[in-house]
Structure 1
Amino acid sequence: MLNELITELNKRGINFIKTVDISMLSSKENMGYGVAILIGINLSPGYIFRLSKENISDHSEFGVKEHLADELAEWTADFIIAKGYKAFAQSERNLIHGFFDETTKTTSLPHKKIAMLAGLGWIGKSNLLVTKEYGSALCMCTVLTNAPIPIENQSIIMPKCGECTVCKDICPTGVIHGSTWKPGMNRDLIVDVYHCDGCLKCLINCPWTQKYMQNNITK
């Protein structure tokens, strides 16, 4: 089933798929499911280049791919349910129905946590997931399921930001504190999400995102 799912998702525009054992998490986090499927879509190098060069805030491609990741997570859940198993897509549309705390702006099981369990990347000083391959130039969504799918948990990657403070220095609203993430650390010590305006400058200008852009941009 997994190979068939991967083939179908690749046809629909997914760039990577990770499967993770979440059975060790609390019932509040995993909602009784044992496996999480993380699907991701890369932001194009050209989009990153344009936003870097023009120093503008433009959510066009980001918004489209965020929406597509959500849609394909819901499609994945339907695909698994049709196979006779249970599944729940953690799309924005589904999470607003009692699974998102508007006061704290949190969900019980963020996509980033699943990505970290998969060994995809680390939490940067911007509080975004940062990966070696894509930087933060990716949109993700997750599906929780009880389907017997092979898993690929990896060791947690600790932050590789070092002394870099690009995201903190470029943030126009000053919401990034410059703190280095540690396991169990309160998110509010890293970023003030309540005053973030979502300009994407931290995502675009992260040196890891810039490296991804430079390695993949069409000359």
Structure 2
Amino acid sequence: MLNELISELNTRGATIVKVVDISMLSANENHGYNISILIGIVLSPSYIFRLSKENIIDHSEFQEKEHLTHELAEWTADFIIAKGYKAFALSDRNLMHGFFDKATKTSSLPHKKIAILAGLGWIGKNNLLVTQEYGSALCMCTVLSNAPLPTENRSILMPKCRNCTVCKDICPAGVIHGTTWEIGMNRDLVVDVYHCNGCLKCLANCTWTQKYMENNFK
């Protein structure tokens, strides 16, 4: 079933598909499901170039791919349910069903936590997932399920940002504190999400995102 699922998701535009065991998480986080499927779509190098080098404010590709990951998550949930198992997509449309707190702007199970359990990357000083291959140029969504799919949990990667403060320095709203993330750290010590304007500068100008762009931009 997993190979069929991955093949179909890749055909529909997914770049990354990972399945992780979440049975060790609290009931508040996993809501009684034992696995989570992470679906990721990479932002194009040309888009990152426009955002960073040409300094253009443009949310078009980000919004398009963010929306597509959520559509793929809902499609995945339907696919698994049709196979006779339970599944729930943590899409924007579904998050309001007890999975997201508007007051604190927190999700009970963030997509990036699943990405960390899959060993895809670490939490950067911009409070985004940072991967060695793509930097932060990645849109993600997840699906919870009880389907008997093979999982691939990895060791949690600690931040590789070191002394870099590019995201903090470039943030026009001044919401990034420059704090190095640690396991269990309160998000508010890393970033002030309440005053973030969503400009994507920290995403595009992260040195790891820039490496991805430089290695792939033609």
- Category of TM-score, reference length = shorter chain: over 0.9
Superposition pairs for residues 1-219 of structure 1, below 5 Å?
1-218=1-218
Structure 1, unmatched stretches of 5+, are none
Alpha-carbon distance between aligned partners in 2 of 1:172 and 1:110, rounded to the nearest angstrom: 25
Q: 1:52 deviation in Å?
A: 1.4
TM-score normalised by length of structure 2:
0.99
Deviations 1:72-106 (A, max 9, x none): 00000000000000000000110023321001000
> Quick check: 94-103 or 123-132, which moved more?
94-103
Q: Where has structure 1 moved over 3 Å in runs of 4 or more?
A: none
Q: 1:50 deviation in Å?
A: 1.3
Alpha-carbon distance between aligned partners in 2 of 1:53 and 1:194, rounded to the nearest angstrom: 27
Alpha-carbon distance between aligned partners in 2 of 1:200 and 1:88, rounded to the nearest angstrom: 29
The code of the aligned residue for 2:135 comes to: G
The code of the aligned residue for 1:144 comes to: L
Q: 1:16 deviation in Å?
A: 0.8
2:137–2:203 CA contact under 8 A, matched in 1: yes
Alpha-carbon distance between aligned partners in 2 of 1:181 and 1:172, rounded to the nearest angstrom: 21
Q: 1:54 deviation in Å?
A: 1.7
Alpha-carbon distance between aligned partners in 1 of 2:64 and 2:53, rounded to the nearest angstrom: 21
Aligned length: 218
The code of the aligned residue for 1:3 comes to: N
CA RMSD of aligned residues (A): 0.5
Q: 1:202 deviation in Å?
A: 0.1
Deviations 1:152-209 (A, max 9, x none): 0000000000000000000000000000000110000000000000000000000000
Q: 1:57 deviation in Å?
A: 1.6
Q: Which secondary structure state, in structure 2, belongs to the residue aligned with residue 132 of structure 1?
A: coil
> Quick check: 96-105 or 171-180, which moved more?
96-105
Percent of aligned pairs with the same amino acid: 78
Alpha-carbon distance between aligned partners in 1 of 2:86 and 2:97, rounded to the nearest angstrom: 18
Alpha-carbon distance between aligned partners in 2 of 1:52 and 1:191, rounded to the nearest angstrom: 21
